[in-house]
Amino acid sequence: MTGVREVADRGPSSRTPARPGGWREGDPVGDRRFLDLPGPFELERGGRLPGVRVAYETWGTLAPDGGNAVLVEHALTGDSHVVGAAGPGHATPGWWAGLVGPGAALDTDRFFVVCANVLGGCQGTTGPSSTAPDGAPWGARFPEVTVADQVRVEAALADALGVDRWACVVGGSMGGMRALEWAVALPGRVDALFFLASGAAASADQIGTQTTQQAAVRADPRWRDGDYPLDDPPVDGLGIARRIAHLTYRSALELDTRFGSLVQEDGRFAVASYLEHHAGKLAGRFDAGSYVLLTEVMNTWDVGRGRGGVAAALDRVTARAVVAGIDSDRLYPPALQQEVADGLGVPLRLIPSPYGHDGFLIETQAVGALLRELLG
């Protein structure tokens, strides 16, 4: 893409983040690479950005014809670090370990695998905690974005990498939205689609859950209408939002089996302690502004918007497709994947799991088998 500048890896910084929030300029870069996309970048809902920095990671080698590239799309609180150890620059290890690497389902001896942090995120790609042109964080000034905007940024990244057409686009949950948008908006650039544990449009249940999470963040006095100092973020509100979300990510069966009504020695219910643990982990690595922004992106998701409805949008897909769901998923129940499978004329592949929605991250053997089938 003309005018795209790759930002050199400046090497690890001596600074180690010891505060909540996402990755910031000056932190160790870890395995990230960066691209600056020149602006102005016009957004679907009328806003604009003067430019976008994209953080991404790659594995494997791009073929001379560019035909072996696979795009992996992360979910809400994921990032570009699909596989790899935790360490400087990476608060957590890879979130889909076992699916990417030599001999894995996404075999890096065969494929060039790419994953980018999403537009509006907080792990290196431009988002609310990024620095605006005036030198201050964007904060509440960051414009509304949509899944379509995020895919346009990824398309610019693909252009810069020399990828005219993806051998496959893979995504689950929020990542499944971007994967489907790729196949609908840019059908000539997608050979295969792997759509997992997601839907074609946000449901009232999802919107209700996610707006409640947003309300929890905004109720924290430290929210300050979205213009909080990055060294004093609304971690309490974000933690409550994560508790709410985590209950939708896991199944009632799993929680009952693991915890029941057990009370710990400290007098707390074991399940409450478990949720508090996950709340603290997220607040220690994620930006509250990105959380509010990205849940709103999910709330406004509708692949049929401006395309005559979902069925008409799915008619645009030319890619080979696997549509899969988790049988115990209560956040994205299988009926949502059935709608997409029917629209694409393929069978729905259900993965049995006690883990609920998080099964798409945990059941890597079953997910990998379906990927191998799709990629041949």
* Cα–Cα distance, 326 to 303 (Å, whole number): 21
Whose structure tokens read 């209950």?
A: 247
* Cα–Cα distance, 229 to 241 (Å, whole number): 20
Segments of the chain assigned to CATH 3.40.50.1820: 5-203+302-375
Catalytic-residue membership of 315: no
List of the chain residues with pLDDT < 50: 1-19
Q: Which residues contact 45 (CB under 8 A, 6 or more apart)?
A: 143, 144, 145, 146
Catalytic-residue membership of 329: yes
Measured over the CA atoms of residue 352, residue 357, residue 359 and residue 360, the dihedral's sign is positive
pLDDT of residue 20: 67
Q: Which residues contact 67 (CB under 8 A, 6 or more apart)?
A: 165, 167
Q: How many CB atoms lie within 10 A of CB 136?
A: 11
Q: How would you classify the pairing of strands 33-42 and 48-59?
A: antiparallel
> Are residues 55 and 80 in contact, defined by beta-carbon separation less than 8 angstroms?
yes
Catalytic residue among 191, 220, 236, 329: 329
Catalytic residue among 79, 246, 357, 358: 357
Bridge partners, residue 170, by sequence: 72, 194
Phi, psi (degrees; rounded to nearest 5) at 258: -75, -40
pLDDT of residue 39: 86
Closest to 360 in 3D by CA, of 91, 86, 96, 70: 96
Bridge partners, residue 122, by sequence: none
**Strand ranges across the sheet with 112-116:** 5-7, 33-42, 48-59, 112-116, 69-73, 168-172, 192-196, 320-326, 348-351
Query: Which CATH architecture is the domain 5-203+302-375 placed in?
Result: 3-Layer(aba) Sandwich (3.40)
* Cα–Cα distance, 288 to 239 (Å, whole number): 9
pLDDT of residue 21: 85
Segments of the chain assigned to CATH 1.10.1740.110: 205-297
Catalytic-residue membership of 225: no
> Are residues 57 and 80 in contact, defined by beta-carbon separation less than 8 angstroms?
yes
Q: Specify the fold of 205-297.
A: Rna Polymerase Sigma Factor; Chain: A (1.10.1740)
List Cβ<8 Å contacts ≥24 apart for 46-51: 46/143, 46/144, 47/143, 47/144, 47/145, 48/143, 49/126, 49/143, 50/133, 51/126
Instruction: State CA 277 to chain mean position distance.
Output: 21
**Residue 280 CA: distances (Å) to CA of 4, 174, 176, 265, 275:** 37, 22, 26, 20, 9
Instruction: State CA 116 to chain mean position distance.
Output: 9
Catalytic residue among 173, 198, 251, 328: 173
250-267 burial, b if ≥16 CB within 10 A, otherwise e?
bbeebbeeebeeeeeeee
